[in-house]
Structure 1
Amino acid sequence: MISSDPNTAPAASPSTETSLGDGSHLHQALSPKGRPVSGVVPPYWSHHRNASRASQISVEGGPAITLEDHTDDPESETSRGLWAKSVTIDDHVVVQGKTGVGAYVVWNCKIRTLEGGSITVRMRYSEFDDLRQKLVSAFPYAKNALPSLPPKSVLFKFRPSFLESRRAGLEYFLNCVLLNPEFSSSPIVKDFLFGRMC
């Protein structure tokens, strides 16, 4: 008989729980008609972490992380090869061919040195591509440290939005090269850039 008294809690349905050998539990509830209803709880649902599963570092706490700034120490290993502080590409010049055909863009790259001076280098996209290919050949293990150059486009190469996107990509590429001591100290980079100084 069902009680209509609101103060009376409904009776819990009878159930049984059996522990299985693989760490899971079998929960059997009895349906209103008295038939068992099973529910297997997979072992990955339980979030118990015993000490045998914890790593030594997570139990004791790992060593503190320290950062060292060697930018002011010219004798440190990381800054020996560095000579540039930043690179910006501020503007470009479109150079027309003699007959009006074969126009191309020259990028004005301003390199700030660690000593406080600046160098201006003018480069075409094809020269950036040449530099990247030489670096990939010389440093095949560091290929992932060299970002890809922005894509080429025959149709849109003089549109302002395309030129701005290309400028940002070339600037990023040069910063990645010149702020990496391994690349910036290589004769490939020095000969390439210093041969194009204005």
Structure 2
Amino acid sequence: MESAGSDTLAHRSSPSPPARDEGGKPATRRPEHPQRNSIVPPYWQRHERSASSHSLITGSADNSRPAPILLEDHTNEGSEQCKALWARHVTIDDYVIVSGTAPGLGAYVVWNCTVETLDGGPMKIIKRYSEFDELRQRLVKTFPHAEGAMPPLPPKSVVSRFRTRFLERRKAGLSYFLNCILLNPEFAGSPVLKEFLFS
């Protein structure tokens, strides 16, 4: 004879089966994100959602979400995108702190960059941070639809601007920025970029 306590224990040990969707798979609950629609990446702003395989699978008719990002392969040597590319890799080799006219006044940093080209030898350029900043601003004006493909520049600092640790982080950030710009076929042939490199 079983007691009432054992009946309760048996009830607890056999949980109810999980909820299932129309396809018979276990349904998953997604957490609610009340601010999800308020933050939209800039490279999605001009796109409208079209019917996709994801919508067909989930049965969702929600047209408020942006279209999925499509990945395209432009590695064929004959493609138009490949013809626009001329750089292979960019490195920032080192930096030099240039002293001002008075101690602590007017000092600035210049960055020694090497651009490895696909045809020919490397290019050496020397730039200040302000020139990188101007390049990014001009590219945003020229390609407003592609601002999401331009990484932000490393931050400025009045206090740490000549400290080694800060400069090493800035060096890595500027190198990443230049690689993203020069290896993007949309920006590679831009007169704005050519002016930055050859002026």
TM-score by length of 1: 0.67
Alignment partner, residue 83 of structure 2 = 80
CA distance in 1, matches of 2:170, 2:150: 16
Deviation, structure 1 residue 121: 0.7
| Aligned residue type for 1:114 | L
CA distance in 2, matches of 1:130, 1:66: 30
Q: What secondary structure, in the 3-state scheme, does the structure 1 residue paired with 2:81 have?
A: coil
Structure 2 stretches lacking a partner, 5+ long: 25-52, 58-70
Superposed CA deviations along residues 144-184 of structure 1, whole A, max 9, x for unmatched, are 00000000001001111100000000000000000001101
Residue 157 of structure 2 is aligned with which of 141, 153, 166?
153
Identity of aligned residues (%): 51
Q: What secondary structure, in the 3-state scheme, does the structure 2 residue paired with 1:102 have?
A: coil
CA distance in 1, matches of 2:118, 2:174: 21
Residue 19 of structure 2 is aligned with which of 16, 32, 45?
45
CA distance in 1, matches of 2:116, 2:125: 11
Cα pair distance change 1:169/1:66, threshold 3 Å:
closer
| Aligned residue type for 1:49 | G
2:139 corresponds to 1:165: no
CA contact 2:115–2:122 (8 Å) conserved in 1: yes
Superposed CA deviations along residues 116-140 of structure 1, whole A, max 9, x for unmatched, are 4110111111100000000001000
Cα pair distance change 1:144/1:106, threshold 3 Å:
same
Q: Moved runs in structure 1, 4+ residues, more than 2 A?
A: 39-42, 55-58, 65-70
Alignment partner, residue 179 of structure 2 = 175
Cα pair distance change 1:66/1:154, threshold 3 Å:
closer
CA contact 2:74–2:81 (8 Å) conserved in 1: no
Cα pair distance change 1:46/1:76, threshold 3 Å:
closer
2:65 corresponds to 1:69: no
Superposed CA deviations along residues 172-198 of structure 1, whole A, max 9, x for unmatched, are 000000000110111110111111xxx
Deviation, structure 1 residue 107: 0.2
2:113 corresponds to 1:139: no
Task: Name which one, 1 or 2, has greater alpha-carbon Rg.
Answer: 1
Aligned residues: 154
Q: What secondary structure, in the 3-state scheme, does the structure 1 residue paired with 2:85 have?
A: coil
* Greater strand content: 1
Higher relative CO (Cα under 8 Å, sequence separation at least 6) belongs to: 2
Superposed CA RMSD: 3.4
2:71 corresponds to 1:97: no
CA distance in 2, matches of 1:156, 1:41: 60
| Aligned residue type for 1:87 | V
| Aligned residue type for 2:101 | K
* Greater helix content: 2
Superposed CA deviations along residues 14-55 of structure 1, whole A, max 9, x for unmatched, are xxxxxxxxxxxxxxxxx67x9xx9x9958x6236625xxxx7
CA contact 2:74–2:82 (8 Å) conserved in 1: no
